[in-house]
Each structure stands twice: as C-alpha cells, then as structure tokens.
Amino acid sequence: MDQHTEVFVGLDVAKARHAVAVAEDGRQGEVRYFGEIGADPESVRRLVAKLEKRHGRLHFCYEAGPTGYGLYRQLTKLGHPCTVIAPSLIPRKPGDRIKTNRRDAQQLARLLRAGELTAVWVPDEAHEAMRDLVRSRDAAVADLRRKRQAITSMMLRQGRAFPGKKTWGPHTSTGCRSRASSIPRTGWCCRSCCWPSGTRRNGWSGSKPPSPSSCPPGCSLP
C-alpha cells in the first residue's frame, strides 16, 4: 500500500446496488470504474477495506437522495471523509444526456477530485428524526384536508350544503352520521374517506366495503 496516495471515490447509490468509480489524485490521474457492490453495510465495509489496502487516503461522495444518510455515517465511522452532494448543483455538459450508473459514478469521482461539487448539510440522527416527524405531520395534515374536502363535496352532491363560512365542524359530523344511517352506501363512502385521515376519533366504526352484488343495476365499483 502506498501511504501517500489519495483517491476520490464516487458512489452512484441505489436501493440494492452501488456503482463505484475511483479517481486517482492529480489532474492527469486515471478515473476507472471499480464495479458494483451491494447496498448493505457489510458490502460497503469490504469495499473500504479493499481500497485501504491500495491507497493511503480515501475521500467518498454520493448524491443526496432517498437512500438517506446511513452510508455517510458508516463511512465517517470507518474514518474516511464523505461528502453528500446536492444533485441539482452538479455541473453537467449541455449535450450530455446519457445517464448510466457507471458514467454517473465516474463523473462524481472526477468532479470530487476537481472540487466542483456542492455539499449539502448532513443532519445528525436527532435532527433527522425531527425532520421525519415534521414531514409526517405535514403529510397527515394534507391528507386530512383532502379527506375533509371529499366528504364536504359528497355531502353537497347529496343536497347537504352547510350555511356559514366554515364548512367543517360538529355540524358536518352530525350530517354525515345522519346520512350514513339513512343510506348505507353513502355511509360507507363517508367512512372510507375518514379512515386514512385519522378522523375515526369521531367514533365511527369500521365496515366492509359493499360487494358488487349489493350495488344497484348499472353501478360499478372502482
């Protein structure tokens, strides 16, 4: 092993496999495709151990995306710097439209060596947990808003338009309950809209969706 060599490792990450490319130090250094490895931590550990035997210093990078920051934390715990790259800020040639895992990994390694990549801030596990919590709450609020709108629109089609500025409140639940008790199929529609949004706090009990045999003639279920 040459303790004085430094290489820049570009990783094109995916759910199952990572493409790996290595760029040697220096402007004229070779950029070669190393191959693909598994996305599990043991495969990453073996890759790092193999590169450590050949080179003294390793610098990794990969694009920020749905795979998260687990790879970053593993590489830094193994004692090597890792940069998580902002995908939208990667320099690209106007005519370069061909994208493959191999080419992307080589391009990342080459740009990392040139210092032309922009890093993103990597949160620690506590910050990431809080971020997930905020995003989950935002998604739940948006889902609740959609389901309320669906119920309000359905009640309007049934001739139950509520007066006033607010179209959702205790009077809406009362109207839905009365409508559900009078028309079973409408009641199932109300309950199906409320299940995903968590509005079963109103005490509605679950029921099975209607079967095709229970529908009136000419009716079709989605």
Please state, in angstroms and rounded to a whole number, the distance separating the CA atoms of residues 80 and 126: 22
Q: Quick one: pLDDT band at residue 199, thresholds 50, 70, 90?
A: very low
Q: How far, CA to CA in Å, does 217 sit from each of 181, 186, 209, 212, 221?
A: 22, 16, 17, 10, 12
Inter-residue long-range contacts of 138-143, CB under 8 Å, 24+ positions, other chains counted: 140/197, 140/198, 143/196, 143/197
Whole-model pTM above 0.75?
A: no
pLDDT tens per residue, range 119-177: 999 999 999 999 999 999 999 999 988 888 887 787 777 776 666 666 666 666 666 66
Residue 76 has pLDDT above 80, yes or no: yes
Predicted pLDDT at 191: 61
Q: What is the DSSP letter of 115?
A: T
User: Quick one: pLDDT at residue 144?
Assistant: 85
Mean pLDDT of the chain: 81
List domains and CATH numbers for the chain: 2-114 (3.30.420.140), 125-211 (no CATH)
Q: 138 or 215, which is more confident?
A: 138
- Distance of alpha carbon 107 from its chain centroid, rounded? 24
Highest mean pLDDT among 14-18, 91-95, 190-194 belongs to 14-18
Q: Is the pLDDT confidence value at 78 over 90?
A: yes
User: Model confidence at 185, in pLDDT bands (50, 70, 90)?
Assistant: low
Residue 201 CA to residue 22 CA, distance in Å, equals 56
88, 138, 141, 217 from 135: Cα distances, Å:
21, 5, 10, 44
Distance CA 220, CA 38 (A): 46
Q: Is the pLDDT of residue 198 over 70?
A: no
Residue 214: count of CB within 10 angstroms of its CB = 12
Distance in angstroms (rounded) separating the CA atoms of residues 133 and 1: 46
C-alpha to C-alpha distance for 101 and 63, rounded to whole angstroms? 12
More confident residue, 187 or 130: 130
- The average pLDDT across 46-55 equals 94
Q: What is the pLDDT of residues 81-129, one digit of tens each?
A: 999 999 999 998 887 777 899 999 999 999 999 999 999 999 999 999 9
Cα distance between residue 66 and residue 86, in whole Å? 13
Give the integer Cα–Cα distance in Å for 205 and 74. Answer: 46
Mean pLDDT confidence for 166-191: 61
Q: Is the pLDDT of residue 71 over 80?
A: yes
How many CB atoms lie under 10 A from the CB of residue 38? Answer: 13
Sequence-ordered list of residues with C-beta below 8 angstroms from that of 201, at least 6 positions apart, any chain: none
Q: Do residues 193 and 154 lie in contact, with contact meaning Cβ atoms separated by under 8 Å? A: yes
pLDDT > 90: percent of the chain: 54
